[in-house]
Structure 1
Amino acid sequence: MKRRLIPILLVLLLLLSSAGSVSGHRLHIHHQIGAIDIKAYYGGGTPCQDANVTIYDDQGNLYLVGATDEAGEFSFPPKIGLDEYTVVVESTHMVGHRGETTINMSSSSGGASGSSGEEMPLYLRIVAGLGYLLARGGAAAAYSGWKMKKKYEGG
């Protein structure tokens, strides 16, 4: 029993140490500057309809409250003298989906998109998934080989 426990613990430790940040309730926010336009959407690109939008100024004070439209969009006029806004979007249809981004009017990144958490590009997610599957297959083959070797050597 002790000989089985050590490989199982090692595999469990390997799996737990390789886990990255996971966001089961990811919500993306895209903004443009002018009249500040915000677009909120889920991971698959579906618009976040009728979501509660709360906007705070750079001091953390409440500036504006509203809701996204059917396309997941919300627009608000910037207040003169304010350089930074924190936008919080909470979905009303899918509980637990929440996104937050900071819009900096003085930065040069204009209409950059922000999201809660960092998302890898699609090709990197595919490569990471294939690497994960290959690693699991390799671990299974190594375990199977170890078990066969033990069977033929030790009886």
Structure 2
Amino acid sequence: MVLNFNRILLVISILTMVFVPATSAHSVHMDVIEKSTDKIKVKAYYGGGDPMKDVEVNVYLITENDEEPYIEDKSTDEKGMYSFEPKQGHEVYKVVASDFGHQVEKKVILESQSSSSSNGSSNNSDTDGLPMPARIVSGFGYIAGIAGIGMMANARKIKKKYENENK
């Protein structure tokens, strides 16, 4: 009876993995594509590489003591791109893209030609740098490991039961 239940559970699990569409929480990223005194252009995208289309973008001027809104309630294009003209005399900006619980910010510094990033509500784990196929394979490996531990525990139970019956 237990063996039939395990087989049914295995078949249901396999069918679920095959026919249910993949869903996952996305990490979000932003890259500075162009940075000059005439134009700053950023690209916002999800961890899988899909662009953050038509998401809200706000740009803030960063001063020594505070930050103030510079551009508000704009949106990215179909490719996840947004560009703006820097304000004369200001060199440090914070660009924020947000959509349905995902938020990413990028600090852009014109003077030193460097930038830094911080992810707001997204999880930035060690696997974010891996390509998607590698992440999928590692996920299957994780599941196979858990299944292997379960099968090992089940085999021990069966072995003990068999040894007790033959005494």
Q: TM-score per shorter chain, which class?
A: 0.5 to 0.7
8 A Cα contact 1:30 1:114, kept in partner? no
Name the aligned partner's letter for residue 58 of structure 2: T
Q: 1:52 aligned to 38, 50, 56, which one?
A: 56
**Divergent runs of 4+, >6 A:** none
Structure 1 residue 146 corresponds to structure 2 residue 156 = yes
Cα deviations by residue, 1:70-98 (Å, 9 ceiling, x for unpaired): 3221111223444432221123xxx2232
Q: Structure 1 129/108 Cα, relative in aligned 2: closer, same or farther at 3 Å?
A: farther
Cα deviations by residue, 1:121-141 (Å, 9 ceiling, x for unpaired): 116525532431332132122
Structure 1 residue 29 corresponds to structure 2 residue 30 = yes
Structure 1 residue 62 corresponds to structure 2 residue 53 = no
After TM superposition, the structure 1 stretch with the greater mean CA deviation from structure 2, 33-42 or 79-88, is: 79-88
Name the aligned partner's letter for residue 29 of structure 2: H
CA distance in 2, matches of 1:44, 1:64: 28
Structure 1 residue 105 corresponds to structure 2 residue 115 = no
Q: 1:121 aligned to 112, 125, 130, which one?
A: 130
CA distance in 2, matches of 1:114, 1:38: 14
Q: Structure 1 82/150 Cα, relative in aligned 2: closer, same or farther at 3 Å?
A: farther
8 A Cα contact 2:26 2:48, kept in partner? no
Structure 1 unmatched runs, 5+: 1-22
How many residues matched? Answer: 129
CA distance in 2, matches of 1:125, 1:43: 11
Give the structure, 1 or 2, with the largest relative contact order (CA under 8 Å, sep 6 or more): 1
Which structure has the greater CA radius of gyration? 2
8 A Cα contact 2:95 2:106, kept in partner? yes
Q: 2:95 aligned to 87, 91, 102, which one?
A: 87
| Equivalent in the alignment of 1:132 | 142
Higher normalized strand content (fraction of residues): 2
